[in-house]
């Protein structure tokens, strides 16, 4: 089959998908316990080996959005998300007050965590998601060796 020059060309600016599953975290964990640089973040844990943060799963309420970026708040604090213009079906999630899940790659942890989005999903239709999130993260971290 011959190449069609009218097809759009993908730019290399897209985020590389991580090989490991995302780790569920709260903003405070990234702010206080993460160390490293973009592409090589680790979550420090008292008395245990650090966890590699290839990708993270965070949930929060949209408090600001615009220009392919959003600011969300989880029970522990605020965090920023970038690259939302490249996330399929990400725009409907960007209404203020929506409760969303974001999977992404950590870009910064201080002064405020910042993710490069890979996936975003609206979870607003079921309030259980929001009520259980902090307990879900706590339980996960308690049980990871």
Residue with structure tokens 């902090």?
134
First to last CA, the chain: 51
What pTM, to 2 d.p., does this model score?
0.84
One DSSP character per residue, 106-134 reads: EEE-SSS-EEEEEEEEE-TT-HHHHHHHH
What string of DSSP letters covers 27-91? HHHHHHHEEEETTEEEEEETTEEEEE-SSEEEEEEEEEEETTEEEEEETTEEEEEE-GGGSTT-G
pLDDT in tens, the chain (145 residues): 444 444 443 343 555 666 778 999 999 999 999 999 888 999 999 999 999 998 999 999 999 999 999 999 999 999 999 999 888 766 678 899 999 999 999 999 989 999 999 999 999 999 999 999 999 999 999 999 8
Strands 23-24 and 56-66: parallel
Among residues 31, 64, 124, 97, the alpha carbon closest in space to that of 133 is found at: 124
Spatial distance between the Cα atoms of 83 and 104, rounded to a whole number of angstroms: 10
Beta bridge partners of 71: 64, 80
């Amino acid at each position: 089959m011959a190449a069609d020059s009218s097809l759009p060309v993908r730019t290399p600016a897209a985020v590389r998908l991580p090989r490991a599953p995302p780790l569920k975290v709260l903003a405070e964990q990234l702010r206080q316990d993460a160390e490293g640089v973009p592409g090589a973040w680790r979550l420090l844990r008292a008395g245990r080996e650090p966890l590699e943060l290839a990708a993270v799963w965070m949930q929060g309420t949209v408090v600001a959005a615009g220009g392919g970026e959003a600011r969300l708040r989880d029970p522990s604090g605020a965090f920023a998300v970038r690259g939302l213009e490249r996330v399929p079906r990400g725009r409907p999630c960007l209404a203020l007050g929506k409760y969303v899940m974001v999977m992404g790659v950590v870009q910064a942890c201080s002064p405020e965590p910042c993710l490069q989005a890979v996936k975003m999903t609206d979870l607003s239709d079921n309030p259980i998601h929001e009520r259980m999130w902090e307990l879900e993260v706590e339980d996960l971290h308690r049980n990871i060796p």
